[in-house]
C-alpha cells in the first residue's frame, strides 16, 4: 500500500507540473497512467480533464468531468473546468448559467464550513469569470459587482488588485445614467496600497543627471495598439535632454526589439514581483515614470503604488483615473480636458497637451481603399468595429433611430460575441429590445483582414460615452468617416479630440439628435462619401493627429515642465 500511495503522489505531482508547464499532452498521458490503476482518483481525473481542455479536446474533457461528478458531485474544480469549456466553445449563456450555479454551490459549502478556505479560492475565480462573461454580453453593472466580489474574496493584495482593476475597467462600459454610482470607485484601488511606504521622496530631485530620465512601463511594449502609439516617443526623442528606460511586462516581438535597440535601457520585468520591479526602477534613478496601461490587463500599477520615481504619470493606454495617490499626472490634451473641466473623480492632475494626447502613425502596409459599398449595394452601410462591450442599450437605441431615418440602411458590427450561436442570440435579443430589426444587422466575428473589412462600411458610428480610439483612426485611414458625440467627461471626449486633430470637427455632434443628423446627411450624399473615401487618408496623413515630430515635442515640453516644477518645489 505504501508503494501505491507513493507512486500515486509521484504521478500526481508530475502530471500537475506538466500541466502548469502547459505540456498538456504529457500531463494527460501521465494522468491516464495512474487512472488505469486507480480509476476513482478524483484529483488525477481533474488534472486530466484540465489537460484535455488545454488540448481543445472538449468532448473528452467533458466525459472526464462527468466521471468526477459521479464520484464527487460538488467537485469545485470540475465545475470550473466545465465553465472554461463553455467559454472556449462560445457558449456564453450556458457559461453564465453554470457560473451562477457554481457560485451558489460554493457559497453553500463555505456557509457549511466545508473546507471554507479551499472553496473560497474557487469562489473568487468564479466571480472573476462571471465578471468577464457579463462584460462580453453587455451586462456591465453586474460585471463590476462580480469583479468586486472576487477582489473581496482574494486573500493576497496582488490578486485583490488584479480583480479591482478588472472592476474599474468594466466600469468604463457603464451607460451614462449608471456612472455616478461608481464615480469614487477608483479610490478603493488606492486604498489597497495605503500602507505601502514610498521608495521615492521629495529629496529625489536628481540634479546630477545629465539628462532627465524617463521610464516607460507597460505590458504592451510590443505589437499592440499602445506599442504603435508610443513608437515616436521611444524612437524619436531628444537625446540631448532625455534618457529613456523601458520596463516591458510582456513577451517580446519584432516591435519590442526595435524599441530595445532605440532606447537607452531596456528591462523585461515579466514574472517580477511589484516590489522587485519598483526597486529596479528606483535603482535606475528614474526621474519621471510613465505608466502606459492604467487598469488594463496585466498592468503594472502595483509598481507605481510603491512610488519608485519622484514624478509619476499615466496615460495613452488608458483613459480614466488610476485611483493611486502616488500617480501625479495624467497625459491628456486641451480637447479631452478643456481648461476648467476638472473631474473630481481623478486623483491625478491633468497635463493638457496643445494638440493630441496621442499620435497615430499610418501603417506602411495599409490595404488599398475600396469604393464606397453603397455604390455596389444600393444602400448605405453604417458600421462600428469598436469593442461591442462599449455598445450600451443607449447607443443601440440611437442607432435604431438612425436606421429608421435612413431607409434601407444596414448596420455592420464586429465582436467575439458574434462568433457563436449563443453569442448572436444574446445580441439579437438586445437589438430587438432596442428597436433594431435584426435583419438589418450583420454580425461578424473576428477575422484576419481587419483593416480591409472597413471597405464594407460607408460610415462609421462611434460609441458613447466610451468612445473609440484606434478604431476611429483605422476607419479614417481606410477612408471611412466617423461620426462621434461630444461627451461630458474625460473618457467621453476622446472621439472629439481625435476628429478635431484629424481636421474633421464637422463630424462631431453635440447631442443625440445632432449625431443622427450628421450621419443621415452623410448617407444622403454619395458625392460627399466618395470624396471622403478618396481623400481621408491624405487628410489624416497631413493632420496634427499623425504629426509625430510635433507630438514628441509637445510631450517632451510637458516632461520638462513637470520636472522643473518638481525641482523648484523640492530641489
The CATH number for 498's domain is: 3.40.50.2000
- Nearest by Cα to 228 from 23, 511, 469: 469
Is position 571 within any domain? no
Is position 366 within any domain? no
Is position 64 within any domain? yes
| 3-state SS, residue 219 | coil
Helix residue spans in 312-407 (DSSP H)? 374-377, 393-405
342 & 411 share domain: no
Q: Are 558 and 334 in contact (CB under 8 A)?
A: no
Query: Cα(133)–Cα(101) distance, rounded to whole angstroms?
Result: 14
CA separation (Å) from 497 to 10, 11, 295, 331, 341?
Answer: 60, 59, 22, 13, 14
- Please count the helices (runs of H) and the strands (runs of E) in the chain: 23, 13
Query: Cα(33)–Cα(428) distance, rounded to whole angstroms?
Result: 47
Is position 45 within any domain? yes
Is position 562 within any domain? no
Number of neighbours of residue 90 by Cβ within 10 angstroms: 19
Split into its structural domains, the chain has a count of 3
Of 298, 330, 359, the residue at which a domain comes to its end is 359
Per DSSP, 25 falls in state H
Of 330, 359, 388, the residue at which a domain comes to its end is 359
| 3-state SS, residue 203 | coil
CATH code assigned at 52: 1.25.40.10
Element (H, E) at 98: helix 92-111
Is position 221 within any domain? yes
171 & 300 share domain: no
Residues 6+ apart with CB under 8 A from 301: 161, 165, 189, 291, 293, 294, 295, 322, 324
346 & 388 share domain: no
- Nearest by Cα to 264 from 303, 215, 227: 215
What is the grid cell recorded at 450?
481587419
233 & 350 share domain: yes
530 & 408 share domain: yes
Query: Cα(17)–Cα(47) distance, rounded to whole angstroms?
Result: 10
388 & 511 share domain: yes
379 & 334 share domain: no
Domain span at 386: 374-546
Is position 193 within any domain? no
pLDDT tens series, the chain, 571 aa: 457 778 788 888 998 999 999 999 999 999 998 888 888 999 999 999 999 999 999 999 999 999 999 999 999 999 999 999 999 999 999 999 999 999 999 999 999 998 999 999 999 999 999 999 999 999 999 999 999 999 999 999 999 999 999 999 999 999 988 888 898 999 999 999 999 999 987 777 666 688 999 999 999 999 999 999 999 999 999 999 999 999 999 999 999 999 999 999 999 999 999 999 999 999 999 999 999 999 999 999 999 999 999 999 999 999 999 999 999 999 999 999 998 777 778 999 999 999 999 999 999 889 999 999 999 999 999 999 999 999 999 999 999 999 999 999 999 999 999 999 999 999 999 999 999 999 999 999 987 788 999 999 999 999 999 999 999 999 999 999 999 999 988 889 999 999 999 999 999 999 999 999 999 999 999 999 999 999 999 999 999 999 999 999 999 999 999 999 999 988 6
336 & 403 share domain: no
Number of neighbours of residue 552 by Cβ within 10 angstroms: 18
CA separation (Å) from 276 to 62, 196, 270, 272, 338?
Answer: 41, 14, 11, 6, 38
Q: Are 312 and 335 in contact (CB under 8 A)?
A: no
117 & 236 share domain: no
pTM value? 0.93
Per DSSP, 290 falls in state E
Contacts 24+ apart (CB under 8 A), 516-520: 516/398, 516/401, 516/402, 516/405, 518/483, 519/382, 519/402, 519/406, 519/459, 519/461, 519/483, 520/402, 520/405, 520/406
According to the model, what pLDDT value does residue 571 have?
A: 67
According to the model, what pLDDT value does residue 34 have?
A: 84
301 & 425 share domain: no
According to the model, what pLDDT value does residue 11 have?
A: 83
Of 307, 336, 359, the residue at which a domain comes to its end is 359
Is position 367 within any domain? no
Q: Are 142 and 174 in contact (CB under 8 A)?
A: no
Helix residue spans in 186-313 (DSSP H)? 186-191, 225-229, 231-235, 254-262, 274-283, 301-304
CATH code assigned at 331: 3.40.50.11380
386 & 514 share domain: yes
76 & 162 share domain: yes
What is the grid cell recorded at 22?
502547459
Query: Cα(404)–Cα(440) distance, rounded to whole angstroms?
Result: 11
Amino acid at each position: 500500500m505504501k508503494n501505491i500511495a507513493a507512486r500515486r503522489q509521484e504521478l500526481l505531482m508530475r502530471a500537475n507540473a506538466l500541466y502548469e508547464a502547459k505540456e498538456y499532452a504529457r500531463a494527460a498521458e501521465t494522468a491516464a497512467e495512474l487512472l488505469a490503476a486507480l480509476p476513482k482518483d478524483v484529483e488525477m481525473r481533474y488534472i486530466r480533464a484540465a489537460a484535455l481542455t488545454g488540448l481543445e479536446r472538449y468532448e473528452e474533457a467533458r466525459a472526464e468531468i462527468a466521471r468526477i461528478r459521479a464520484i464527487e458531485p460538488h467537485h469545485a474544480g470540475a465545475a470550473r473546468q466545465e465553465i472554461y469549456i463553455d467559454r472556449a466553445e462560445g457558449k456564453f449563456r450556458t457559461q453564465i448559467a453554470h457560473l451562477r450555479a457554481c457560485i451558489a454551490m460554493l457559497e453553500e459549502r463555505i456557509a457549511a464550513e466545508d473546507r471554507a478556505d479551499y472553496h473560497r479560492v474557487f469562489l473568487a475565480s468564479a466571480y472573476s469569470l462571471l465578471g468577464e462573461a457579463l462584460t462580453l454580453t453587455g451586462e456591465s453593472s453586474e460585471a463590476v459587482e462580480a469583479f468586486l466580489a472576487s477582489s473581496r474574496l482574494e486573500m493576497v493584495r496582488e490578486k485583490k488588485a488584479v480583480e479591482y482593476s478588472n472592476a474599474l475597467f468594466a466600469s468604463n462600459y457603464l451607460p451614462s445614467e449608471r456612472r455616478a454610482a461608481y464615480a469614487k470607485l477608483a479610490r478603493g484601488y488606492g486604498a489597497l496600497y495605503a500602507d505601502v511606504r514610498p521608495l521615492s521622496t521629495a529629496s529625489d530631485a536628481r540634479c546630477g543627471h545629465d539628462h532627465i530620465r524617463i521610464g516607460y512601463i507597460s505590458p504592451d511594449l510590443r505589437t499592440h495598439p499602445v506599442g504603435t502609439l508610443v513608437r515616436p516617443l521611444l524612437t524619436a526623442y531628444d537625446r540631448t535632454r532625455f534618457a529613456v528606460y523601458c520596463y516591458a511586462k510582456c513577451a517580446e516581438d519584432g516591435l519590442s526589439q526595435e524599441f530595445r535597440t532605440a532606447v537607452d535601457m531596456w528591462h523585461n520585468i515579466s514574472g517580477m514581483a511589484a516590489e522587485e520591479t519598483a526597486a529596479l526602477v528606483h535603482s535606475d534613478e528614474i526621474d519621471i515614470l510613465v505608466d502606459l496601461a492604467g487598469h488594463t490587463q496585466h498592468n503594472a500599477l502595483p509598481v507605481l503604488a510603491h512610488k519608485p520615481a519622484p514624478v509619476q504619470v499615466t496615460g495613452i493606454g488608458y483613459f480614466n483615473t488610476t485611483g493611486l495617490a502616488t500617480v501625479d499626472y495624467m497625459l491628456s490634451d486641451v480637447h479631452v480636458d478643456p481648461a476648467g473641466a476638472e473631474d473630481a473623480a481623478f486623483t491625478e492632475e491633468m497635463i493638457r497637451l496643445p494638440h493630441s494626447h496621442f499620435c497615430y502613425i499610418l501603417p506602411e502596409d495599409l490595404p488599398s481603399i475600396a469604393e464606397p459599398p453603397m455604390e455596389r449595394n444600393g444602400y448605405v452601410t453604417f458600421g462600428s468595429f469598436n469593442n461591442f462591450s462599449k455598445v450600451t442599450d443607449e447607443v443601440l437605441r440611437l442607432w435604431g433611430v438612425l436606421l429608421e431615418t435612413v431607409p434601407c440602411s444596414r448596420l455592420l458590427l464586429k465582436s467575439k460575441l458574434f462568433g457563436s450561436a449563443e453569442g448572436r442570440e444574446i445580441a439579437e435579443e438586445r437589438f430587438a429590445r432596442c428597436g433594431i430589426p435584426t435583419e438589418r444587422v450583420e454580425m461578424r466575428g473576428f477575422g484576419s483582414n481587419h483593416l480591409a473589412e472597413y471597405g464594407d462600411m460607408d460610415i462609421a458610428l462611434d460609441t458613447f460615452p466610451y468612445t473609440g480610439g484606434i478604431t476611429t483612426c483605422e476607419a479614417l485611414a481606410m477612408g471611412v468617416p466617423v461620426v462621434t458625440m461630444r461627451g461630458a467627461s474625460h473618457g467621453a471626449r476622446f472621439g472629439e479630440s481625435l476628429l478635431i486633430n484629424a481636421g474633421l470637427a464637422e463630424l462631431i455632434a453635440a447631442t443625440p439628435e445632432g449625431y443622427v443628423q450628421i450621419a443621415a446627411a452623410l448617407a444622403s450624399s454619395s458625392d460627399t462619401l466618395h470624396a471622403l473615401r478618396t481623400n481621408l487618408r491624405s487628410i489624416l496623413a497631413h493632420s496634427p493627429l499623425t504629426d509625430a515630430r510635433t507630438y514628441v515635442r509637445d510631450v517632451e515640453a510637458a516632461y520638462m515642465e513637470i520636472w522643473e516644477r518638481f525641482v523648484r518645489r523640492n530641489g
